[in-house]
Amino acid sequence: MSQLENKTFDQKVTRRDLIKLFGASAVAASGIFGASSQAFAKSAAHVVILGGGIGGSTFAKYLRFADADVKITIIEQYPEYITCLRSNDVIAGMHTLDELTFNLETIKSKYHVNVVIDTVVGADFNKKTVRTAKGDNFSYDKLVVSPGIDFKFEDYEGYDAELAATDFPHAYKAGPQTLKLREQMLNMRQGGTAIIAPPQNPFRCPPGPYERASFFAEYFKKHNPTAKLIVLDPKERFTKDVPFKKAWERLYGYKSDNALIEWVAGSEGGRVVRLDAATKTVETDGGDFKADLINIIPNQRAGVLAQKLGLTNASGWCSIDRYSMESELHKEVYVLGDSAIADAMPKSGFSANSQAKVCAKAVADTLKGKNLEDPVYANVCYSLAGENYGVSIAAVYEVRDGLIQPKGESAGVSEVTELTAQPILESVYQKNWQRQFVKDVFS
Amino acid sequence: MKNNLLVSTIIGLNVFAMSQVTHASSTEKPQVPAWTGAALAETISAMPKGDIQRGQVVAKDMMCIACHGEQGKPYTMNFPSIQGQTQEYTMKTMIDYREGRRWESYKRADVMVKIAENMTDQQIADVSSFYAAQTTTAWQKPTATYEQAKALVTTGDMSRMVMACAGCHGAEGQGNGVTPALAGQIPQYFVRTMQAFHEKDRVNDVNGMMDQFTKGLTPEEIQAIADYYASLMC
Ligand SMILES: Cc1cc2nc3c(=O)[nH]c(=O)nc-3n(C[C@H](O)[C@H](O)[C@H](O)COP(=O)(O)OP(=O)(O)OC[C@H]3O[C@@H](n4cnc5c(N)ncnc54)[C@H](O)[C@@H]3O)c2cc1C
């Protein structure tokens, strides 16, 4: 273990020490972050977490619950984390980005986790060290990687990260692009056409594009009633499509002559293959669509960091042991959340959180030389098809035949009923769930 | 795929019940003027006449029965009994939720606010008359503190400015117009409600009367009164 880490963990660290360790600018920049003041035994194992998003943050907290003595470090590139959860609401104007912004301060102080704000640039799995952009090295006993997703812009001729950062935001990582897309929706001309192009499976938050489409339709209904939203989908079906489409029928005239929303399946030419930014036209298998607003949500693969570290397989995602989330490619390295191949589990914050808890227990048990227990995973995705119209999908998962699969009859999607209150109640549960969930992750 | 709604409902409610900590909501409590006796009387008398049969349909359609039970008696202690509640009081409650006058920060009001916002006056009148037509049954057997509570309920304690509950809520706890029935009420709900009044978390009564007239009660006495009413039927 490097001297730096011994010092960080074994002594009460003062601001002066921090400056010596990290340099004045690092301390100033990271502000309240930095080393935990908890003293740990020299012999204690060190678990290093790369990425302090939903998966990484939950893991740190729950590993602390499982083991009071282990040393834990999170390395996260940004001092603040904006949740994608409810970021579609920001587009709709129901939330502000501020309300979705969290940091790792509580994780650090309450759970004695060393928080480092820096970008991880590499790792040496033999020496068991990771390297950051600022040039620091951290040695680990167990490494946990939860870096989110990366976009496959190459699947769309004429589309790239730069266009996404300017006039064609994908807004699939919450932040400035979210606000940009909102602005574009608000400023779209009366009677204009908007396009949302969801990605091919698998991708982060399977209902996300359709919730977003619903919010566009709801906004148009109120403020731009002659506008139209076209969803150009490479797929034949999408998650919760039955209740979503029912909601679109009920609320936005879906399938009627004056529908605010139209959905084009892959077999009908929905797959987007090219963007002509200059003329605001997308080309699909079925022909060209010209629009006033184009929101391509690109196909995805595991986060850049997972690729860089060699944790991905040919699919572009990370294969893991279903009992522990340990990488099948590198021992003592665990992959959580969107980057991991978790079979039937969707790539959601809820899933990342659930996987982090399973993994925390597996890591703690392994460190103590205990056998692993059979894991139970869970996921619920609440989405809104309108401000007061919720639809959900839920399942509890177990490992069966080597795969993560729904347990018994636990899996289900909101039934379409004629009960007025059902979608209203689901919209309330959604808000309550979100409020509780972010507490489970960050405090 | 069976009982899908139930699965999500249960998960939703679990989370819901856990979230006791106050958190800035994206929708803040609207500023609504407190009731005066006259304004309340006028509002209630302006409501349409309710229809019991239609009310039963509303109770199903708005899923009141999911928490409050088929006849207004809940399946669990988490939700209030509205079985045999006076029509006026249920109407008042729904209006209070709809206007945001009732918006307890212990986060149990969210569901009711959203449901009420989506109901018409007619639906509110109908469902209220349906519940008023049900017979109140006791929630639990009398406890050891029954007599002590009964004395407080029927005579109050003027030395502490504690008014006799029965004075307004009726000798049998049967309620009277906009003053709610308390017989058969779930004790947990009763206690929570008294706390909310005392902490001014709930201010939808006329002139803050509930706080004023019950401030002197100890937590033990509130529990005893809750148990007393829970054991009554009418
Ligand atoms: C519009 C939208 C709505 C959504 N709504 C929901 C919802 O309602 N419910 C739900 O459950 N899920 C929802 N999700 C999905 C959810 O956001 C993700 O599934 C979840 O964030 C995955 O967690 P993660 O830990 O894998 O990745 P992330 O939460 O993205 O965390 C990755 C972290 O790693 C950091 N990182 C990456 N590379 C490096 C590096 N080299 N060095 C240091 N740090 C690095 C990143 O900065 C980031 O903080 C939604 C997603 C979107 C896009």
* HEC-encoded secondary structure of A251-301: HHCCCCCCCCEEEECHHHCCCEEEEECCCCEEEECCEEEECCEEEECCCEE
Assess contact for B201 and B193: CB atoms under 8 A. no
Whether A39 is covered by a domain: the verdict is yes
CA B169 to chain centre: 13
Are B152 and B128 contained in the same domain? no
Q: Which residues of B touch A433 (CB under 8 A)?
A: 11-12, 15
State the residue range of the domain holding A120. 3-150+301-374
Q: How confident is the model at residue B5 (pLDDT cuts 50, 70, 90)?
A: very low
Last residue of some domain: B132, B157, B192?
B132
Are A11 and A79 contained in the same domain? yes
**Count of domains observed in chain B:** 2
Whether B170 is covered by a domain: the verdict is yes
**What's the DSSP call for residue A11?**
S
| Closest ligand 1 atom number to CA of residue A146 | 25
For position B30, what pLDDT does the model report?
77
Instruction: Using the predicted structure, report yes or no on whether residue B15 has a pLDDT greater than 50.
Output: no
How far does the CA of residue B217 sit from the closest CA of chain A (Å)?
33
Round to whole Å and give the CA distance between A280 and A276. 6
For position B104, what pLDDT does the model report?
76
Last residue of some domain: A265, A298, A331?
A298
A432 and B4: CB-CB below 8 Å? no
Are B8 and B103 contained in the same domain? yes
Are A286 and A310 contained in the same domain? no
For position A37, what pLDDT does the model report?
55
For position A104, what pLDDT does the model report?
98
B74 or B21, higher pLDDT: B74
Whether A84 is covered by a domain: the verdict is yes
Cis peptide before B142 (omega within 30 of 0): no
Token pair listed for A186: 């608000």
A421 and B118: CB-CB below 8 Å? yes
Last residue of some domain: A278, A298, A318?
A298
The CA A395 to ligand 1 mean position distance, Å, reads 20
Last residue of some domain: B109, B132, B155?
B132
Are B58 and B7 contained in the same domain? yes
Token pair listed for B212: 């004023």
Residue of A nearest to B15 (CA): A433
Whether B202 is covered by a domain: the verdict is yes
Q: How confident is the model at residue A43 (pLDDT cuts 50, 70, 90)?
A: confident
Q: How far is CA B157 from CA B56, B160, B207, in A?
A: 41, 6, 20
**Lowest model confidence (mean pLDDT) among A110-124, A163-177, B10-24, B130-144:** B10-24
Mean pLDDT for the stretch of residues A190-206: 98
On the 0-12 / 13-18 / 19+ scale of CB atoms within 10 A, A373 is: exposed
Whether B137 is covered by a domain: the verdict is no
For position A442, what pLDDT does the model report?
97
Q: Which residues of A touch B61 (CB under 8 A)?
A: 418-421
Whether B25 is covered by a domain: the verdict is no
Are B99 and B172 contained in the same domain? no
Round to whole Å and give the CA distance between A88 and A207. 11
For position B31, what pLDDT does the model report?
82
Residue identifier of the C-alpha nearest atom 17 of ligand 1: A84
For position A16, what pLDDT does the model report?
43
CATH code for the domain of B113: 1.10.760.10
Instruction: Using the predicted structure, report yes or no on whether residue B14 has a pLDDT greater than 50.
Output: no
Whether A404 is covered by a domain: the verdict is no
Q: How confident is the model at residue B234 (pLDDT cuts 50, 70, 90)?
A: confident
Are B128 and B12 contained in the same domain? yes
**Lowest model confidence (mean pLDDT) among A26-40, A320-334, A388-402:** A26-40
Mean pLDDT for the stretch of residues A234-263: 97
Round to whole Å and give the CA distance between A263 and A229. 9
For position A148, what pLDDT does the model report?
98
CATH code for the domain of A336: 3.50.50.60
On the 0-12 / 13-18 / 19+ scale of CB atoms within 10 A, A313 is: middle
Are B203 and B154 contained in the same domain? yes
Token pair listed for A260: 């605010």
Are A214 and A146 contained in the same domain? no
Mean pLDDT for chain B overall:
87
The owner of tokens 């959905």 is: A263
Are A39 and A12 contained in the same domain? yes
Are B104 and B150 contained in the same domain? no
B5 or A143, higher pLDDT: A143
Q: How much of chain B is helix, strand and coil, in % rounded to 5?
A: 50, 0, 45
Whether B139 is covered by a domain: the verdict is no
Last residue of some domain: B77, B97, B132?
B132
> 3-class secondary structure for B174-209?
CCECCECCCCCCCHHHHHHHHHHHHCCCCCCCHHHH
Strand A261-264 and strand A228-232: the pairing is parallel
Whether A127 is covered by a domain: the verdict is yes
Whether A11 is covered by a domain: the verdict is yes
**Count of domains observed in chain A:** 2
Optimal mutation site among B4, B16, B54, B106, interface A, most CBs of chain A within 10 A:
B4
Round to whole Å and give the CA distance between A384 and A430. 8
Round to whole Å and give the CA distance between A333 and A110. 25
Are A331 and A241 contained in the same domain? no
Query: What is chain B's Cα-based Rg?
Result: 17
Instruction: Using the predicted structure, report yes or no on whether residue A32 has a pLDDT greater than 70.
Output: no
Are B108 and B150 contained in the same domain? no
Q: How confident is the model at residue A12 (pLDDT cuts 50, 70, 90)?
A: very low
Are A173 and A99 contained in the same domain? no
Round to whole Å and give the CA distance between A229 and A206. 19
> Which among B10-19, B27-36, B216-225 has the top mean pLDDT?
B216-225
Are B193 and B222 contained in the same domain? yes
Which amino acid is residue A359, in one-letter code?
Answer: C
Ramachandran angles phi, psi of A281, nearest 5° = -130, 140
pLDDT above 70: percentage of residues in chain A: 91
DSSP three-state, residue A214: helix
| Closest ligand 1 atom number to CA of residue A437 | 11
Task: Write the CB contacts of A98 (distance below 8 Å, at least 6 apart in sequence).
Answer: none
Optimal mutation site among A420, A426, A430, A441, interface B, most CBs of chain B within 10 A:
A420
Mean pLDDT for the stretch of residues A301-317: 98
Whether B30 is covered by a domain: the verdict is no
**Mutation pick for ligand 1 pocket among A101, A196, A205 (CB with most ligand atoms within 8 Å):** A205
Last residue of some domain: A298, A313, A346?
A298
Assess contact for A45 and A367: CB atoms under 8 A. yes
Q: Which residues of B touch A434 (CB under 8 A)?
A: none
- Residues B191-232 pLDDT 10s: 999 999 999 989 999 989 999 999 999 999 999 999 999 999
CA A196 to chain centre: 19
Whether B156 is covered by a domain: the verdict is yes
Are B121 and B156 contained in the same domain? no
For position A271, what pLDDT does the model report?
98
Are A364 and A306 contained in the same domain? yes
Beta-bridged to residue A122, according to DSSP, are A131
Residue of A nearest to B17 (CA): A432
For position B27, what pLDDT does the model report?
58
Are B180 and B100 contained in the same domain? no
pLDDT above 90: percentage of residues in chain B: 76
Whether A442 is covered by a domain: the verdict is no
Are A273 and A342 contained in the same domain? no
Instruction: Using the predicted structure, report yes or no on whether residue A179 has a pLDDT greater than 70.
Output: yes
For position A268, what pLDDT does the model report?
97
Instruction: Using the predicted structure, report yes or no on whether residue A123 has a pLDDT greater than 50.
Output: yes
For position A18, what pLDDT does the model report?
41
**What's the DSSP call for residue A381?**
E
Task: Write the CB contacts of A311 (distance below 8 Å, at least 6 apart in sequence).
Answer: A145, A302, A318, A327, A329, A330, A333, A335, A339
Task: Write the CB contacts of A163 (distance below 8 Å, at least 6 apart in sequence).
Answer: A275, A277
Task: Write the CB contacts of B170 (distance below 8 Å, at least 6 apart in sequence).
Answer: B176, B179, B181
For A108, other C-beta atoms within 10 Å of its C-beta total 23
**Lowest model confidence (mean pLDDT) among A139-153, A416-430, B20-34, B207-221:** B20-34
Whether B179 is covered by a domain: the verdict is yes
Mean pLDDT for the stretch of residues B28-40: 87
Whether A382 is covered by a domain: the verdict is no
Whether A389 is covered by a domain: the verdict is no
Ligand 1 pocket list (CB less than 6 A): A 50-56, 75-78, 81, 84-85, 87-88, 119-120, 146-148, 172, 204-205, 208, 303, 305, 336-339, 347-350, 352, 381
Task: Write the CB contacts of B159 (distance below 8 Å, at least 6 apart in sequence).
Answer: none
Are A92 and A63 contained in the same domain? yes
A410 and B7: CB-CB below 8 Å? yes
Strand A403-406 and strand A114-117: the pairing is unpaired
Are B57 and B110 contained in the same domain? yes
Assess contact for A125 and A289: CB atoms under 8 A. no
Mean pLDDT for the stretch of residues A250-264: 97
Round to whole Å and give the CA distance between A118 and A133. 7
State the residue range of the domain holding B151. 146-230
The CA A248 to ligand 1 mean position distance, Å, reads 28
pLDDT above 70: percentage of residues in chain B: 86
Q: Which residues of B touch A425 (CB under 8 A)?
A: 9, 12, 63, 66, 111, 114-115
A414 and B8: CB-CB below 8 Å? yes
Are A22 and A125 contained in the same domain? yes
